[in-house]
């Protein structure tokens, strides 16, 4: 009986090593895809959005906020590329508040302050996401 197993040993070794190589390849492709998505999110969304919000809070000029929403709220927005449900939900909440503020005939100071608070929270969430992506993408280069 053990002689028969010895005859199949090389075939079993080839089969097991092929299976291990396949599983490693699948895992590597998933990791590469994740890194690519993180880099894309950082370069196309998190970075530009964070920069725009930083600029707004530095100057506190409403034109920066209008430009922010004009740029990131278009029909062909790629907000989904952020890949963080909390940030996406926060973005939509802030967008809704901005639209309500813009539609006001008489601008309410309290509504503006609430919008600023929500924008600041969005900025903080974006900053966390940006640095997580940064660590993921550039973690090997420290």
Q: Which residues contact 15 (CB under 8 A, 6 or more apart)?
A: none
pLDDT tens digits, residue range 112-136?
A: 888 889 999 999 999 998 898 888 8
Count structural domains, the chain. Answer: 1
| Model pLDDT, residue 122 | 93
Using a cut of 0.85, tell me whether the model's pTM lies above it: no
Rounded distance between C-alpha atoms, residue 79 and residue 72, angstroms: 7
| Model pLDDT, residue 90 | 92
pLDDT tens digits, residue range 32-65?
A: 888 788 888 788 888 888 888 888 888 877 777 8
Cα–Cα separations (whole angstroms), residue 93 to 53, 58, 70, 90, 128: 16, 22, 16, 5, 18
Instruction: State the residue range of the domain holding 13.
Output: 2-141
Q: How confident is the model at residue 100 (pLDDT cuts 50, 70, 90)?
A: confident
């Amino acid at each position: 009986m053990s002689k028969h197993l010895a005859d199949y040993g090389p075939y079993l070794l080839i089969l097991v090593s092929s299976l291990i190589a396949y599983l490693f390849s699948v895992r590597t492709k998933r990791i590469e895809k994740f890194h690519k998505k993180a880099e894309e999110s950082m370069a196309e969304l998190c970075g530009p959005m964070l920069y725009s919000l930083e600029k707004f809070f530095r100057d506190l000029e409403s034109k920066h906020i209008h430009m922010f929403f004009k740029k990131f709220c278009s029909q062909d927005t790629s907000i989904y590329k952020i890949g963080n449900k909390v940030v996406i939900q926060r973005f939509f909440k802030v967008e809704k508040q901005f639209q309500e503020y813009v539609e006001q005939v008489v601008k309410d100071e309290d509504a503006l302050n609430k919008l600023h608070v929500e924008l600041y929270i969005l900025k903080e969430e974006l900053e966390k996401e940006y640095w997580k992506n940064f660590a993921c993408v550039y973690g090997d280069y420290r």
